[in-house]
Structure formats: structure tokens, C-alpha cells
């Protein structure tokens, strides 16, 4: 039997004719080149720069930053006025008194009177636990701390600072001097140079005169000054700041009528008799 649709008999292979591909259109002929025309020369390719490594990039950025900061510093220093060697911007005590002007004339206690620049005379107890550290404390703060060592001002640091600041204003108004310089001179004049100790010989106490240590001289002078201020202001209408100013002025002059210098003369007189 013959298949009506395909026209093939069953059991026999069917021949399949190959499909022809469409022909490509013919290319247009290229225009003839003019005689003697030369081909344009090709531009040479730029050599590729080697990419720096990651570490080299970071180093270059840091170097550029350092160079920029150095240039800014040089410009700032050129604009700022030239300063002398060793010159520093002073920190004024109470924002008023320059401690760089103060000089300690007594060489014996120069090492133990600290006049380092400070705005507020308060070290927060940093030197209170160290032995012999009082010499590193500002002499104004030592005076303030000594003013608190009585039953009237115990623990009242702000009150003692206010008293000292007012006394410094009175001293400046009366003497036209730096009040810290007056305080240093008063300590030098009120500190005893000779004292007595008790030696025991066969059950008998014998007084013997000895030289006073420099740090003890400063401690004793501040003690005499503050005791004189307390005795002058106790049961008196006179203000404590006025009493402190008068005591410092008189002691700086070496006046024997003031309390501190009188006590110093008394101790030295007893020591002189015990030589």
C-alpha cells in the first residue's frame, strides 16, 4: 500500500532532498586607491604605566599628607611674630598676677619656694601623700592650706582662696608691688635660721642650738604668719583679708612689731643663748 500523504510505501526508506542555502549577495568592489598614496602611519600606543601596589599607594598618600601638614606649619610660623628663646605665654595667678616676675632673694630657701605659673592655686592633693613634697607646691597654695588649719576655716578651701585673693588686691593697692613677691619676702624674713633641741645627759634635759633646715624655715614662717593673722582677726571687727595684707607687708619689711617677725626673733634669741 502507498501512503497517500507522503507517497511512500511502508517498509521502504524515504529519500530526503537537502535544503539549499540562499546565496549571499555579491560584495561591491572596493574603490581603487590613488596611485602614489601611502597608508597613514599608525600612532604608537602609549606604554601602559605599571600599577603601584596597594602598600605603595598608602605610603604615597601618607607622604602627601605629611608634606601638606609641614607646609601649613611653616606658613603659620612665618605669619606669627617671632618669639625670643625661652619665652612662654604666662599663666597669671587669679588671672591677674604674673609669677615670672617674682624672685627669691634668699639663696637658702630658693629651692623650697615654688613659684610655678598657675591660674588657680589648687593641686587637688597630689603632693599631700608624698614625703617632703611640700617644696614642690606653689607657695600661695601653701599659705591657703595653712589658713585652713584652725577651727574657723577648717576644710573651707574656697573661703581661704577668697581671703588670699582679697589680701593680694589690698597689698597691691598699698605697695604697688606684685603681692606674690611680698609674700616671698615675708617668708624669707619670718623664717628662723636657728632653733633649739633638747639633749638628755644623765637624766637632765639640756637645750642645744641647731641650724634650721630650709624646708622647716618655710613651714615655720607660714605658721607664724597665719597665727598672727588669726590672733589679729579673732574677736575683732577687722576683716581677715586686711589682717593678712598688713601681716605680709610688715613681715616683708622685717618689722619686729608684727607677730611673725617677733616670734622669729624670740626663737633665735633663745637659740643664741643655748650655744
The domain of 223 spans: 99-273
Cβ contacts of 143 within 8 Å, gap of 6 or more: 164, 183, 222, 225, 226
Using only the alpha carbons of the chain, give its radius of gyration.
49
Q: Is residue 39 part of a domain?
A: no
pLDDT at residue number 243 = 95
Residue 190 has pLDDT above 90, yes or no: yes
| Helices and strands of the chain, counted as H and E runs | 7, 2
pLDDT at residue number 86 = 47
Q: How many domains does the chain have?
A: 1
Q: How do strand 204-211 and strand 194-201 relate by DSSP bridges?
A: antiparallel
- Cα-Cα-Cα-Cα dihedral sign, residues 267, 269, 270, 271: positive
Q: What's the mean pLDDT in 201-211?
A: 90
Q: Is residue 14 part of a domain?
A: no
Q: Is residue 11 part of a domain?
A: no
Q: Is residue 26 part of a domain?
A: no
Q: What's the mean pLDDT in 269-275?
A: 92
Q: Closest by alpha carbon to 185, among 261, 75, 270?
A: 261
Least confident of 37-46, 138-147, 163-172, 229-238: 37-46
Can you give the CATH number for the domain in which 241 is found?
Answer: 1.10.455.10
Amino acid at each position: 500500500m502507498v501512503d497517500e500523504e507522503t507517497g511512500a510505501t511502508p517498509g521502504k526508506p524515504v529519500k530526503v532532498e537537502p535544503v539549499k542555502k540562499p546565496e549571499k549577495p555579491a560584495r561591491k568592489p572596493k574603490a581603487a586607491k590613488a596611485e602614489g598614496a601611502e597608508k597613514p602611519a599608525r600612532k604608537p600606543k602609549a606604554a601602559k604605566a605599571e600599577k603601584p601596589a596597594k602598600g605603595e599607594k598608602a605610603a604615597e598618600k601618607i607622604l602627601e599628607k605629611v608634606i601638606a601638614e609641614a607646609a601649613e606649619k611653616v606658613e603659620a610660623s612665618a605669619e606669627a611674630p617671632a618669639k625670643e628663646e625661652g619665652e612662654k605665654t604666662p599663666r597669671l595667678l587669679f588671672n591677674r598676677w604674673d609669677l615670672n616676675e617674682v624672685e627669691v632673694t634668699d639663696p637658702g630657701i630658693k629651692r623650697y619656694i615654688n613659684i610655678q605659673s598657675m591660674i588657680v592655686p589648687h593641686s587637688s592633693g597630689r603632693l599631700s601623700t608624698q614625703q617632703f613634697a611640700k617644696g614642690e607646691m606653689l607657695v600661695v597654695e601653701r599659705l591657703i592650706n595653712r589658713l585652713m588649719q584652725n577651727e574657723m576655716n577648717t576644710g573651707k578651701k574656697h573661703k581661704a582662696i577668697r581671703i588670699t585673693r582679697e589680701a593680694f588686691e589690698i597689698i597691691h593697692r598699698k605697695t604697688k608691688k606684685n603681692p606674690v613677691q611680698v609674700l616671698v619676702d615675708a617668708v624669707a624674713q619670718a623664717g628662723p635660721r636657728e632653733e633649739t633641741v633638747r639633749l638628755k645627759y644623765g637624766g637632765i634635759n639640756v637645750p642645744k642650738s641647731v641650724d634650721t633646715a630650709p624646708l622647716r624655715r618655710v613651714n615655720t614662717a607660714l605658721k607664724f604668719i597665719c597665727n598672727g593673722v588669726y590672733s589679729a582677726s579673732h574677736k575683732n571687727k577687722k576683716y581677715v583679708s586686711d589682717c593678712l595684707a598688713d601681716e605680709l607687708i610688715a613681715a616683708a619689711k622685717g618689722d619686729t612689731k608684727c607677730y611673725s617677725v617677733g616670734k622669729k626673733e624670740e626663737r633665735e634669741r633663745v637659740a643664741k643663748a643655748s650655744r
